[in-house]
Amino acid sequence: MYALIANEKVIKEADLVIIETNLNEYDNFVYDLRFDILQRDFEILCKMLANLNKPILFILLPLYVNNDKFKITNNFNLLQIKKYNFHFIDMQRYYDENNLNEFFATNDLFHQISPIMRLLGQNIALNLGKIGRCNLKCNYSVPKFLAVTLQDLFENINQLEKSVKSNSLFTEELYRLEGKIKLKFKKEFKNYTLVAFSVWNDDNSLGTFSSAIWTNKKTKIIKYCLSSFLMMYNLIENFVIDEESFLYFNANNQKQSENNLWIFLKDDCRNTLDCMQLANQILLVKPDENFTMNTHYDFQTLANLEVQIDEKYNFSHLIPDVVLFKEIIEEYNARMDPVKIAPFQAEIKNLKLELHQKKQNPIQTHLAHKLGRAIIENYRSFWGFLGLPFVLNYIAKKHKKKPAPLPCTENEKQILSYQLGLALINAHKAWYKGGYIWFIFKVLSLKKKFRR
């Protein structure tokens, strides 16, 4: 609503108005913004769009959730789209029908990957001439809204420190609300209701909590904000401007009186910033009978409703072939995953080997110990002694395929198994000099030594 009023000239000259609200409404609904307020604002928005009498295209973006609040939000959107003969693209239904939600649920659930949205925008641009006017049934009565600045609204705004902040879309004058300064509303706005205000706080490592207090003769509203984005927040309770209306920073961390986006009423909030940076986007309304909606919806019925809209208003065929994208990505991953994983698998294998070696006694990795241990275990039985040459040969061959033995000190090597195996290795190296005969005498000497 603010954008329609603040950009009236640009919008009147536009060939097409494209709008998406369902994810924002759902997010507010999740954080307990009353549905009657969402309903009122959305229906007024639709009337304002219909009164433009030009092509209007709603996009229902997809979200990977499965709860009644999201179904209620989308179905309510579709009911109003049908009522006012708007054109629409239902990406949520397309994703549901093709089982795409989980696959494209990236770390940013609320925004689809940019190539998909870029192609959707391209397809819309190429089909501009096919999207007709909204078939205005009548001129709808809407309340009188005003899009105002802080300079317009407050008598003493110049008491606040001013700065300028920019991003890729906005350049905004910001006013630092802090300390004990109270901003007084101008008399000319008496009896207007403050619908929404904008904040663009700086970020900090603790989060961007800041809060402010609105007071008039009858009302005191305390509201916290949690964001470092340029955001427009609505007031839930009606705040009617009178001659005693003020706005000031909640320096004492008084408890919030109403919830906000990303903040529940039950949350125990505290300022992490020593100010609130007010932006120049404010929406007022002169309440009348058109600002109150009497329609009430049964949530269970609305959640399970199948809204049928004439296909001539449905431009969902402009959605890119996301099913094909999914197939391409899956095949690419099937080919590339083994390639990408191979270095990690090799590293895991090496780490497992290192871990295994660390768990072993270093002496057990030496051939001498292995041979000596086999001699000790087999010489006591006739059949063991008879098969010992084959066992020793097998151990020697298998040892060649093992990694290099772990280092041992000389003291660690002074055990019977190692000395026995070492004697056998030396005897084998000198077999042509009678090494095996020498080995028999060495065995008797070791037996005598280790018996002591």
Asked if 278 and 198 count as a contact pair (C-beta separation under 8 A), the reply is yes
Give the model confidence (pLDDT) of 90-122 as tens digits: 999 999 999 999 999 888 889 999 999 999 999
Confidence of residue 18 (pLDDT cuts 50, 70, 90): very high
Q: What average pLDDT score do residues 166-177 get?
A: 95
Confidence of residue 441 (pLDDT cuts 50, 70, 90): confident
Name the residue with tokens 């809209």. Answer: 309
Pair of tokens at residue 225: 């904000």
CA distance 110 to 119: 18
Query: How far is the CA of 109 from the CAs of 102, 115, 117, 336, in angstroms?
Result: 10, 15, 14, 25
Instruction: Specify the amino acid at residue 76.
Output: F
Give the model confidence (pLDDT) of 278-310 as tens digits: 999 999 999 999 998 777 889 999 999 999 999
The contacts of residue 17 (CB under 8 Å, 6+ apart) are 11, 49, 52, 54, 55, 56, 57
Structure confidence at residue 352 (pLDDT): 77
DSSP-derived letter for residue 257 is: S
> From the CB of residue 441, how many other CB atoms can be counted at a distance below 10 Å?
10
* Helix locations, 127-260, DSSP H: 150-153
Structure confidence at residue 377 (pLDDT): 81
Give the model confidence (pLDDT) of 313-355 as tens digits: 999 999 999 999 999 999 999 998 888 888 888 888 877 776 7
The residue ranking higher by pLDDT, 386 or 328, is 328
In three-state form (DSSP H/G/I as H, E/B as E, the rest C), the secondary structure along 347-401 is: HHHHHHHHHHHHHCCHHHHCHHHHHHHHHHHHCCCHHHHHHHHHHHHHHHHHHHC
Check pLDDT > 80 for residue 452. Answer: no
Check pLDDT > 60 for residue 358. Answer: no
Q: Is residue 11 packed enough to be buried (19+ CB in 10 Å), middle (13-18) or exposed (0-12)? A: middle
Among the ranges 53-62, 129-138, 291-300, 353-362, which has the highest mean pLDDT value?
A: 53-62
Nearest to 213 by CA among 156, 255, 272, 265: 255
Confidence of residue 399 (pLDDT cuts 50, 70, 90): confident
pTM flag (> 0.85): no
The residue ranking higher by pLDDT, 390 or 234, is 234
Name the residue with tokens 């065929």. Answer: 317
Q: Which helix (H) or strand (E) covers residue 142, if one does?
A: none
In 207-339, DSSP assigns E strands to: 209-215, 220-226, 231-234, 246-249, 276-279, 282-286
Q: Which of 53-57, 203-207, 359-363, 445-449 has the lowest mean pLDDT?
A: 359-363
Q: Are strands 87-90 and 231-234 parallel, antiparallel or unpaired?
A: unpaired
Q: What average pLDDT score do residues 363-371 get?
A: 82
Confidence of residue 357 (pLDDT cuts 50, 70, 90): low
The residue ranking higher by pLDDT, 289 or 439, is 289
Main-chain phi, psi angles of 306, to 5 degrees: -105, 100
Name the residue with tokens 């037996």. Answer: 447
In 121-280, DSSP assigns E strands to: 144-148, 161-166, 171-177, 182-184, 193-199, 209-215, 220-226, 231-234, 246-249, 276-279
Check pLDDT > 90 for residue 84. Answer: yes
Q: Residues for the chain: how many in total?
A: 452
CA distance 398 to 405: 13
Q: What average pLDDT score do residues 228-257 get?
A: 96
Q: What average pLDDT score do residues 421-449 get?
A: 79
CA distance 88 to 82: 9
Structure confidence at residue 424 (pLDDT): 83
DSSP-derived letter for residue 165 is: E
Q: Is residue 117 packed enough to be buried (19+ CB in 10 Å), middle (13-18) or exposed (0-12)? A: middle
Asked if 391 and 406 count as a contact pair (C-beta separation under 8 A), the reply is no
Check pLDDT > 80 for residue 266. Answer: yes
Q: What average pLDDT score do residues 352-360 get?
A: 66
Main-chain phi, psi angles of 174, to 5 degrees: -115, 145
Q: Which helix (H) or strand (E) covers residue 57, if one does?
A: strand 56-60
Asked if 60 and 87 count as a contact pair (C-beta separation under 8 A), the reply is no
Name the residue with tokens 């395929």. Answer: 401
Nearest to 94 by CA among 312, 314, 327, 305: 314
